[in-house]
Structure 1
Amino acid sequence: MSAALPAPRIALNDGHRIPQLGFGVFQVSPDEAERIVGEALDAGYRHIDTAMIYGNEEGVGRAIASRDIPRDELFITTKLFRGDHGHNNALRALPASLERLGLDYVDLYLIHWPAPARNAYVDSWRAFEQMRNEGLARSIGVCNFLPEHLARLQSDAETLPAVNQIELHPLFAQRDLRAYQEPLGIVTESWAPLGQGKYVLDELPGIAEIARRHGKSAAQVILGWHLQQGLVVFPKTVRRERMIENADVFDFVLDDAEMAQLARLDSGTRIGAHPRERN
């Protein structure tokens, strides 16, 4: 069994802890998921992020089952599809995901999108609270929630999300949303942390020079930028050498000037759907 990565674990508002660096499987085909997740586990990753809509939960589960890694060393996340919103639908969706994953529980279950036009995310959240209390999910959270959605949970639910997973990268740093949820104890996870290939990392102003200075790649610099801000990040790749490179980010520190230089890249450029429009 390979040694786990030296990723710090961040405290959640429910008393659990989450590895700050993980491995994502967005757009990993069902046929490839078992091999790719197995390679990630072999490389030391212990935090795996999937979703029902990715269609690869079964492959993730087979990879986990094929490795001799104690369950308490793993942190597995999956997500509720927006078409499964509603109390009863959500109560059926998580057990189905657990069956595909071959697990008794997930470490984190997330509402994938607020889907505000459906007006059912509060009912879904109440089901999440029930499933957490039943031990099917250790922690519960949301994805792509704006302050308006979080405020409804604050007023209408018993507990706040432990996590909000949002699009976040140097061109879209989401400072206002992070400033809203941080006092609530909601940890921010970054999806598309490297921009999902929508821009060339080395061509971002100043990135190549910072990378050269630290003897790192542009991707490693950007992952370091996420980690130093206390964000949880799970880059996705299908290449083993890139998995290893993405994990080699704990031996350098960006100084204040470099962090400020990266902060200036924020242009408010969203590359994914807007949460108000994804229904």
Structure 2
Amino acid sequence: MPSQSTLSKPAARRVFITGASSGIGTALARYYATQGATLGLVARRGELLAELQTSLNTECAIYTVDVRDADAMRGAAEDFMQRYGTPDIVIANAGVSRGTLTQYAEDLAAFRAVMDINVLGMVHTFHPFIEPMCRSGRGHLAGIASVAGLRGLPGASAYSASKAAAISYLESLRVEMVKSGVSVTTICPGYIKTPMTDVNTYPMPFMLDADIAAAKMAHVIDQKRRYVILPWQMALVGRFMKLLPAWVWDWAMKNAPHKARTDWDWL
């Protein structure tokens, strides 16, 4: 007869993560691997994905895919589900950040890329999983937005706009899923130590280590929180930012440092 510990042992979860080749995505993959999860990992940089795969002591499928490619994302999702079943958790983490200024014609392409990756990439990530999740009446979708989406930041207009759009999209998706049994979580991190923030030359208060941030994000997902800002100190700052009148925000931001326009980094 099986022991009580064997009977009570939970089944391994299936977790699908985009933007897994560095930063938050890699940290999330490492965290869930320690939990014994079966992973589906997506990123453009296949060589980094392969290195990550070999370092994880868990079942792991990798997909070298650009989240802007809806057909390729659908193919990756279908392959994962054929091999392992419908995932328990899907985390749309892939994102890009670059300083942008509307006055420069050469930045127009960057605006489009940032919006396509940070917003449509999230849609492309979730789309293939929603129908099977709804059929089973369970599942969790989590999107990584940003505190930068709470107010418009100078020199980061594309990034702020994309993250504001992501926040609104995730809220719409959450209320659409209410009757389905599928949960949706919006996560708005502040500064996380990743290659994306390593290039910044200005102060970044309350910065979290990526592995610590990943553990906090996983905990939030397990709690099925609807919306959270991390860390708690940045949550207080975020609430204060939202309350400021427009004229005060304009005054506060007029001399704020800008992210360099030459930076182009994937999470």
The TM-score with structure 2 as length reference comes to 0.38
Give the number of the structure with larger relative contact order, counting CA–CA contacts within 8 Å between residues 6 or more apart. 2
The TM-score with structure 1 as length reference comes to 0.37
In proportion to residue count, which structure has more helix?
A: 2
